[in-house]
Amino acid sequence: MQTPELWIRGLGVYLPETRVSVETAVAEGLTTAEEAAVHDMAGAAVAGELPAPEMALRSAREAYGQAGADPDDTRVLLYTDIWHQGPDVWFPQYHLQHHLVRGDVIAGELRQGCNALFTAMELTEPHLRGAPESATALLVAADNFSTPNVDRWRSGAFVMGDGACAVLLGRAPGLARVLSVGSMVVPELEELHRAGEPEFPPAATTGTALDLRARGRALSEKGEEDPEVDLAWFTLQQKMMLLVGRTLAEAGVGFGDIARATFSNLGPGAVEHRWMDVLKLPMEKSTWSHGRTIGHIGAADPFIGLRHLLDEGGVRPGDHVVLGGLGSGVTLSCAVVRIADAPPGS
């Protein structure tokens, strides 16, 4: 989808100061050196008892301040997450509406998975099209995995980190212009995130621990009997190539125009073979070297990576950056942004 009037006006990030290294986790018996070698992550950002919605609020305040925007001009608020946010039948987006945005704006929670911020961008773009330049949309992603039913070191084939990111979109120029954004889905792989587990009652109501690795093994075992599973994985890679090509074409950008790329922190293999090979870029053009130090922070990863590039001088005015993510479904999303010629405050 082309987005000719869409800008990232503010990009707020909250990362807890506490970082636990893999070496510490191994020494404490939380994981093994062999398990750590598989994902090659260096550590995780750990929030302790700080609620995810509070981290989201802090990142959102930073985004508004960075943009010099008034929360009263917000048209849409979308909150994304992949893990539980607070008390049952309580919805975290209203925490931000209560303490920051206020008013009768459309507010919703997206449980789309690790690419949810891209879906949020696609959903909010029509609300900003033709709106006054002061109008904004607030998109946030936040998760805290410091809960009893998650083992951040062993629940998945990666390390889970805590944190939040807020993306403030609008028509007025800001940090980066969004040139295009899009998604595709391979529904044949929806079983990946439920294989081997009963669908009812939901695991959250029974106290069952999250074990994504076991689900992956269960699907692999099914694949030994069912060739459709392997075909679905092939379809995923094919659609990834199609999505990247389409999104670049809609942005009017060629492969040689891409300066940097930032994706979900799922491990070097996932980043390199699923994304960087498709983009024809070496790994050093990704943000993996930073992502491996904080862990996989749900849907926030690609935009935390973009903020890291901006903060550390990893991009220059006019550079094109590709962002991407995969989510349960299996869904895949991609966006192309161009760094502003004159960022606010320059």
Q: How far apart (Å, rounded) are the C-alpha atoms in residues 326 and 319? A: 24
Strand blocks (E) in 201-343: 258-263, 320-327, 331-339
Q: What pLDDT score was predicted for residue 270?
A: 84
Length of the chain: 346
For residue 10, what are the contacts with CB-CB under 8 A and spacing of at least 6? 62, 63, 64, 65, 66, 67, 69, 166, 167, 168, 174, 175
Q: How far apart (Å, rounded) are the C-alpha atoms in residues 144 and 163? A: 7
Strand blocks (E) in 98-206: 106-110, 136-143, 163-170, 176-185
Structure letter (DSSP) for residue 27: H
Ordered alpha helix ranges (H), 50-187: 52-67, 93-96, 116-128
Q: What pLDDT score was predicted for residue 342?
A: 66
Q: CA angle at residue 312 from 310 to 315, to 5 degrees?
A: 50
Parallel, antiparallel or unpaired: strands 106-110 and 74-80: parallel
Comparing CA positions, the residue from 297, 252, 306 lying closest to residue 43 is 297
For CA atoms 141, 145, 146, 152, the dihedral sign is negative
Q: In angstroms, how far is CA 165 from the centroid of its own chain?
A: 9
The two three-digit tokens of residue 213, written as one number: 């690795």
Q: In angstroms, how far is CA 112 from the centroid of its own chain?
A: 10
pLDDT in tens, the chain (346 residues): 999 889 999 999 999 999 999 999 999 999 999 999 989 999 999 999 999 999 999 999 999 999 999 999 999 999 999 999 999 999 999 999 999 998 899 999 999 899 999 999 999 999 999 899 999 999 999 999 999 999 999 998 899 999 999 999 999 999 999 999 999 999 999 988 888 899 999 988 898 999 888 998 998 888 888 888 889 989 999 999 999 999 999 999 999 999 999 999 988 888 888 899 999 999 999 999 999 999 999 999 999 999 999 999 999 999 999 999 999 889 999 999 999 986 555 4
Q: How far apart are the first and last CA of the chain?
A: 30
Comparing CA positions, the residue from 247, 300, 284, 320 lying closest to residue 114 is 300
Q: What pLDDT score was predicted for residue 163?
A: 98
Structure letter (DSSP) for residue 50: -
For residue 37, what are the contacts with CB-CB under 8 A and spacing of at least 6? none
Asked if 157 and 212 count as a contact pair (C-beta separation under 8 A), the reply is yes
